[in-house]
Amino acid sequence: MLDFLRDIAPNLVKKQGEFVGAIGQTLYMMAVSGGISFLIGMALGILLTVCKPGGIRPNRVIFTVLDRLINVLRSIPFIILLTAVIPLTRLISGSAIGTAGAIVPLVFGTVPFFTRQIETALAEVDSGLVEAAQAMGMIPWAIIWRVLLRESVPGIVRGSMITIVSLVGLTAMAGAVGGGGLGDFAIRYGHQRNQVDITWATVLTLLVLVSLIQAVGRRIVKRTTH
């Protein structure tokens, strides 16, 4: 088995320790920045929905500012965002390079996208349900929790899956600030040293990762849709 691998992927076998480390770094970046982005994006998505004209608590100022800010952040290419937020990164994580240095730009790259996903998922909840809840005399928090979020679980899961998959792509770019991970690994060996087997191994790993995420997501959606 190992002989066979050595034949078709000689470089990968030599760098296997580094390869496993790169997978670990990718998963670490995804878990930390994904977790943080989930919380912030969820909060902002709810805030947008609630403050939207015709929402539960319409607030034009908050809505407009947030809406524009998200558009601006979404328009910045991630590779530029990576370097643009360096001062902030230094402030928050103490270092602008390495895996820790990648977290802040990853959060900046993910939150606006995820906020939109949440906003879309919540917008799919029939406004009649909110009306029914208001007619019952429910307080706004209860409407958000028991109606909006509860009813949009499948939509939120779907949005989260799409976001995680796009996060996989972003973490690959984080290699540019020395963030490590699979993308960095593939560029340094696969691209710059023309070790094709490393490129293929990276692609395959990412493919498996994306498929796994999709499969899990689909399962949850199926379970929560009635």
Partner 1 sequence: MLRLEQLSKTFDGREGRVEAVRDVSLTVKAGEIYGIIGASGAGKSTLVRCINLLERPEQGSVWMDDIELTALGEQQLRQVRRGIGMIFQHFNLMASRTVLDNVLLPLRDAALPRPQAADKARSLLKLVGLSDKEAAYPSQLSGGQKQRVAIARALANDPKLLLCDEATSALDPQTTLSILALLKQLNEQLGLTIVLITHEMAVIKEICHRVAVMEDGRVVEQGDVYGVFAHPREHVTRRFIDTASPLQKIYRLLAADSPILRLQKGEQLLRLKFHRQSAAQPYISDISRRFHLDMNIIFGDIDILQDAPLGSLVVIVRGQPEDVARATDYLRQSDVDVEVMKRA
Q: Is 150 in the site for partner 1 (CB under 8 A)?
A: yes
Question: Residue 215: is it exposed, middle or buried by C-beta count within 10 angstroms (0-12/13-18/19+)?
Answer: exposed
Minimum CB distance to partner 1 smaller for 101 or for 155: 155
Minimum CB distance to partner 1 smaller for 61 or for 135: 135
Q: Is 128 in the site for partner 1 (CB under 8 A)?
A: yes
Q: Is 134 in the site for partner 1 (CB under 8 A)?
A: yes
Helices (H), the chain: 2-8, 10-14, 16-51, 60-75, 78-84, 86-93, 98-123, 127-135, 140-142, 150-151, 153-173, 181-185, 196-224
Minimum CB distance to partner 1 smaller for 17 or for 137: 137
Contact residues for 173 (Cβ-Cβ < 8 A; gap 6+): 78, 79, 82, 183
One of 50, 147, 157, 206 touching partner 1 (CB under 8 A): 147
Minimum CB distance to partner 1 smaller for 54 or for 87: 54
Q: Is 123 in the site for partner 1 (CB under 8 A)?
A: no
Q: Which residue has the tokens 């691209």?
A: 191
Minimum CB distance to partner 1 smaller for 23 or for 125: 125
The terminus-to-terminus CA distance of the chain in angstroms comes to 47
Minimum CB distance to partner 1 smaller for 133 or for 164: 133
Q: How far is the CB of 226 from partner 1 (least distance, A)?
A: 4
How far from chain centre, in Å, is Cα 105? 12
User: Collapsing DSSP states into helix, strand and coil, what is residue 53?
Assistant: coil
Q: Is 53 in the site for partner 1 (CB under 8 A)?
A: no
Q: How many chain residues interact with partner 1 (CB under 8 A)?
A: 20
One of 17, 53, 94, 137 touching partner 1 (CB under 8 A): 137
Q: How far is the CB of 62 from partner 1 (least distance, A)?
A: 19
Q: How far is the CB of 122 from partner 1 (least distance, A)?
A: 14
Q: Tokens representing 43?
A: 């909060």
Q: How far is the CB of 53 from partner 1 (least distance, A)?
A: 11
Contact residues for 51 (Cβ-Cβ < 8 A; gap 6+): 57, 58, 59, 60, 62, 63, 66
Q: Can you give the binding site for partner 1, defined by CB under 8 A? A: 126, 128-129, 131-139, 142, 146-147, 150-151, 153, 224, 226
